[in-house]
Structure 1
Amino acid sequence: MFSNRERAAFSDGTVKREGQVYKHSTLKYPHRLNFYDRPPLEDVTIEEFETCAIDRLRILAEIESSFVRNRSFEELKTVTNAQCLKYLPLHSSTATSEDLEGERRKDHLGHFILRLAFCRSEELRRRFVKAEITLFRVRYESDDTKEREEFLSSRDFDWIAVDKDEKEKFRRELLAASPNLKAELFEKEKFYKVKWTRVPDLVEKRRVFLKGGWAYVPSREQSSIIFQAFQSSLERALEATARALPRLDEDTRIMPILNNLSQGFLAGVPSEWSGNDGSSANGEAIKAEMIDDLARKHFPLCMKNLHDNLRRDRHMKHYGRLQYGLFLKVLGLSIEEAIAFWRKSFSKITEDKFNKEYRYNVRHSYGLEGKRANYAAKSCQQILMNDQPGPGDSHGCPYRHFSEDNLQSALLAAYSHQGLTSSDLPEIMHAVKSQHYHVACTRVFEITHAGSGVGTVKKGEGVGGGESVTHPNQYAARSRELEKAKIESLGGNDDVPMKGEEGGGDAMVLG
């Protein structure tokens, strides 16, 4: 899979590097922690190439979402560890029943594949480095102490241990620079000397003693040296890969994958959730007459907007029908119910015109005409990046394609009955202005499912486990699951009132 030029792109400037010392092990990947110095030198199938990259990108994209959502590091660590366990597990070397070689190989390959995708601009490199250093830090702090020490001893970090005499000579200064270090523990604390440029974060926070260009780093701050070394190493590697990339053979199978991967921070990566095969996510088929109520309670804003426009105009252009029709298909609408729904919705046209111009398209989307493909519903990434809406169109993502004023008005109109208020808008608009549209949608999901009658989602939980919304059907499926759980907890009473309503009330009929 990797050509000689691709391997050269990884290797150029990344192998003979300061601080790189290997103490060989019988294992190809002896440690869970990895500086990714050695490029992959093996054949990889196109399927494995894509899988390794996407699963790693899921984690990096969620890390970036955590930055936008101002999660504390502890919250970020919890979410990241959960995501890693699901998509990219790295078990301890003592876990003899696990495929350690396979896990670490996947981690290694995914990192290098994403280097190809994210090396192509300064902005992409910056975001990739920030997410990767955070992932490394989470793993470092979660690693087994013994294994972490073995990893550190396998590399030369170019620090100098401060001997007893020098340590005593600067006792007062070292204690002053380490306010959390008690005097009675000073003798047991180890210190290391590095050039002050190696620990700019500690210098900025005045947590090290500086003398003659050297920074005296206590062992409790040792991780700062390691993180800075990882960051510098990765930055140089990305720059080398970027210089080599134009010389690579443009494999027509690989370049589209790399282009899609580089968009992962913008739209997130579609998560693996049940239901995208055309069946209802919760195993229940839906009827055409149920859609008004479902739209009011469970749809993300993109689908609410399509539904409202359809009810208002009694018509919808091609891309809108495609986006909404596939969403309804995966939601659980059968072909018979879909034809009934669209026929009733297009009430301005005659039966003959509908049969000639629209019935075929509905059947085609269900795989019953044409090449008979079973089309999947569009993910957030596809909606954001493909088939941009023009004048008169209603498809697309409102968080990206609406003006700021129109978006805020649409949010209040769509979700005020579920507890969203104008005081929630600044936080949502902050994510929109940062171009993290799926994060804005996730925050709306949390607000509208926080004890509103269809769930008790807490801030930061997203659609489960801290995961962000990355697919409209994922949003709707999770919303319906929460409502079902709420009804069951109330003994089967499906008249669940929403926040701001008196006893539930009748479903609002749109149109």
Structure 2
Amino acid sequence: MYNISERRKFDPAKLDPAKSNSSKLTNCFEWRLNFYDKSPWYEVSLEDFERYALDRLRVLAEIESSFARNRSWEELKSVTTRQCKDHLPLNSSSASTVDTQAERRNDHLGHFVLRLAFCRSEDLRRRFVKAETALFRVRYESDDTKERELFLQSRDFKWTEVNSEEKQQYVKELKGLGIQYSEDEKCTTERLYKVRWTQVPDLVNKRRVLLKDGWAYVPSKEQLSIVLRAFEANLENALDLTARSIMRMDGDTRLTEILNHMSRGFVAGVASEYSGPTTGDEIRADMVDDLAKRHFPLCMRNLHECLMRDRHLKHFGRLQYGLFLKVLGLSIDEAIAFWRKSFSNLTDDKFNKEYKYNIRHSFGLEGKRANYPAKSCQQILLTDKPGPSDCHGCPYRHFAPDNLQTSLLATYSSQGLTSTDLAEVMRTVKEGHYHVACTRVFEITHAAAGVKKGDGIGEGESVTHPNQYAAKSIEIEKAQQGDAMVE
């Protein structure tokens, strides 16, 4: 993850000198819902620039994963609500115990930073708009009714509320849409909005509106469709404008690395860095083989099997697997014992000269003495691409489809994975949702422990880190053992 050691400032007004006077104004957010029309023209620290964008990206990445996993809207809404509570809280104005203006300012800033990151290609813009629209809908449906109505009144959606005379004119057609009339068919209390049909093409396609002379008569229950279409169109136009202006920022090296990191967030989600043992217990060298067979994700299982077969791993393989084991709970002494036993075809002198230093270095005991974290799914997917004879990388991305299917069946068939399950896993791989495929394999192989489809590694969350996968698998097994003892 990109870290910033200095507290430096970024001033958006420098991108557009004509608007520099706007930076003197403080943004005031009257509503919880936001179409993000006004840019945040004020100074922010680079720490905040990155922090609030990452918080928002975690939510959007989980929304994208939900689409890839074909979750129902209610499931997506539930997962997104939990993610927002943890990373992107946004309370209504009636919440008296929180600083709602600070929450809305952070939400506003994060959105505009991600605009800069995701405006760079048509595919990124499309995915960003889809995820942002879903987030807006979740907030819209959970918003305070009165506040939501005031928000709608504050904007021009180019709709006209249909009067009673016009409702009376189309009684038969409107009753076909489910509009309830009085017994004498003279009046209805249900609201009806008239808009140009191009504003609601989805409702026209589903035949949920009445069409007359290019106008669509939209029942109040379908009002959200008008709002969402307006939100999408507004954001699409804004992203196009941002894409044309982004070249002004390319010379600022403080930002390009952050934005490039952000734009990869949809590939494998956004993982928190793991820096401590995830099992809660220290593991020994002689436990690794058994743990690998029961709890490791496919990337680490493949590295372990290559190590056991060849009695050697190349540099990037040792780095990926060694850091994973360190964070899993393997101490420095046990790590040296594990690698010495694994490299059994080497003499002690050769092992000590060529490999022992690197093991100690990864634990922060040599060199610059940094405590290196284990690699996340995003880092494994996007850095150090494996060559023909390498074992590192992500099998879901770097294996040929036939080899991947063979490997999955050979590795996990004893844990419940069948050839029938492969079709769904391979579909997500083909669509480029590699961490979603890994999450689905986790659900299948832990189904006997009560993990259901859609549960992920807990509360619907997708796998974004190999240690996250292993830790949850070990936790589930411990819970089962505890239940068995109680029984």
- TM-score class, shorter-chain normalisation, is over 0.9
- Residues 5, 247 of structure 1: 8 Å contact kept: no
- 1-side partners of 2:429 and 2:218: how far apart? 40
- 2-side partners of 1:27 and 1:266: how far apart? 33
Letter of the 2:70 partner, please give it: N
1:264-343 equivalences in 2 (<5 Å): 264-271=265-272, 276-277=274-275, 279-343=276-340
TM-aligned CA distance change 1:444 to 1:7, over 3 Å: farther
Q: CA deviation at 1:7?
A: 5.6
Tell me the matched-pair count.
470
Q: Which moved more, 1:166-175 or 1:124-133?
A: 166-175
Letter of the 1:193 partner, please give it: K
Which has more helix, going by share of residues?
Answer: 2
Q: CA deviation at 1:80?
A: 0.6
TM-aligned CA distance change 1:8 to 1:240, over 3 Å: farther
Q: Which moved more, 1:304-313 or 1:181-190?
A: 181-190
1:244-283 equivalences in 2 (<5 Å): 244-271=245-272, 276-277=274-275, 279-283=276-280
- 2-side partners of 1:393 and 1:372: how far apart? 27
Tell me whether 1:56 sits opposite 2:59 in the alignment: no
Tell me whether 1:392 sits opposite 2:389 in the alignment: yes
Q: Which moved more, 1:393-402 or 1:243-252?
A: 243-252
- 2-side partners of 1:27 and 1:400: how far apart? 44
Q: CA deviation at 1:155?
A: 1.2
The runs of 5 or more residues in structure 1 that have no matched partner are 16-25, 494-511
- Residues 12, 42 of structure 2: 8 Å contact kept: no
Q: Which residue number in structure 2 is paired with residue 85 of structure 1? A: 85
1:187-266 equivalences in 2 (<5 Å): 187-266=188-267
Q: Which residue number in structure 2 is paired with residue 2 of structure 1? A: 11
- 2-side partners of 1:27 and 1:117: how far apart? 22
- 2-side partners of 1:7 and 1:333: how far apart? 52
- Residues 326, 377 of structure 1: 8 Å contact kept: yes
- 2-side partners of 1:406 and 1:8: how far apart? 55
What are the superposed Cα offsets for residues 110-132 of structure 1, whole Å, 9 maximum, x if unpaired?
A: 11000000001111100100111
Give the structure-1-normalised TM-score.
Answer: 0.89
- Residues 7, 41 of structure 1: 8 Å contact kept: no
What are the superposed Cα offsets for residues 239-285 of structure 1, whole Å, 9 maximum, x if unpaired?
A: 0000111133521121011111111111111047xxx22x3213200
TM-aligned CA distance change 1:27 to 1:389, over 3 Å: closer
Tell me whether 1:414 sits opposite 2:411 in the alignment: yes
- Residues 7, 40 of structure 1: 8 Å contact kept: no
Q: Which has the higher contact order (CA 8 A, sep 6+)?
A: 1
Q: Which residue number in structure 1 is paired with residue 117 of structure 2? A: 117
Q: Which residue number in structure 2 is paired with residue 424 of structure 1? A: 421
TM-aligned CA distance change 1:83 to 1:6, over 3 Å: farther
TM-aligned CA distance change 1:433 to 1:5, over 3 Å: farther
- Residues 29, 104 of structure 1: 8 Å contact kept: yes
1:135-154 equivalences in 2 (<5 Å): 135-154=135-154
- 2-side partners of 1:182 and 1:290: how far apart? 68
1:22-41 equivalences in 2 (<5 Å): 28-41=28-41
Tell me whether 1:161 sits opposite 2:161 in the alignment: yes
Q: Which moved more, 1:180-189 or 1:411-420?
A: 180-189
- Residues 288, 333 of structure 1: 8 Å contact kept: yes
Q: Which residue number in structure 2 is paired with residue 477 of structure 1? A: 471
Corresponding residue SS for 2:194: strand
Q: Which residue number in structure 2 is paired with residue 449 of structure 1? A: 446
Q: Which residue number in structure 2 is paired with residue 131 of structure 1? A: 131
Letter of the 2:253 partner, please give it: T
- Residues 5, 248 of structure 1: 8 Å contact kept: no
Letter of the 2:463 partner, please give it: V
Q: CA deviation at 1:72?
A: 0.6
Corresponding residue SS for 1:217: strand
Q: Which residue number in structure 2 is paired with residue 372 of structure 1? A: 369
Q: CA deviation at 1:183?
A: 3.6
1:430-441 equivalences in 2 (<5 Å): 430-441=427-438
TM-aligned CA distance change 1:492 to 1:311, over 3 Å: farther
Tell me whether 1:348 sits opposite 2:345 in the alignment: yes
What RMSD in Å do the two structures reach over aligned CA positions? 1.7
Corresponding residue SS for 2:29: coil
Q: CA deviation at 1:149?
A: 0.8
Corresponding residue SS for 1:383: helix
Give the structure-2-normalised TM-score.
Answer: 0.94
- 2-side partners of 1:263 and 1:315: how far apart? 32
Q: Which moved more, 1:235-244 or 1:159-168?
A: 159-168
Letter of the 1:172 partner, please give it: K
Q: CA deviation at 1:43?
A: 1.2
Q: Which residue of the other structure, out of 399, 404, 419, is the alignment partner of 1:402?
A: 399
- 2-side partners of 1:249 and 1:121: how far apart? 15
- Residues 412, 445 of structure 2: 8 Å contact kept: yes
The runs of 5 or more residues in structure 2 that have no matched partner are 1-9
Corresponding residue SS for 1:187: coil
What are the superposed Cα offsets for residues 128-151 of structure 1, whole Å, 9 maximum, x if unpaired?
A: 001111111111111111111111
Tell me whether 1:458 sits opposite 2:452 in the alignment: yes
- 1-side partners of 2:182 and 2:286: how far apart? 75
Q: CA deviation at 1:154?
A: 1.4
Q: CA deviation at 1:47?
A: 1.2
- 1-side partners of 2:50 and 2:483: how far apart? 41
Q: CA deviation at 1:29?
A: 1.2
Tell me whether 1:467 sits opposite 2:461 in the alignment: yes
- Residues 162, 190 of structure 1: 8 Å contact kept: yes
Q: CA deviation at 1:477?
A: 0.7
- 1-side partners of 2:272 and 2:439: how far apart? 13
Corresponding residue SS for 1:373: coil
Q: Which moved more, 1:438-447 or 1:251-260?
A: 251-260
Q: CA deviation at 1:27?
A: 8.1
- Residues 118, 263 of structure 2: 8 Å contact kept: yes
Q: CA deviation at 1:5?
A: 4.9
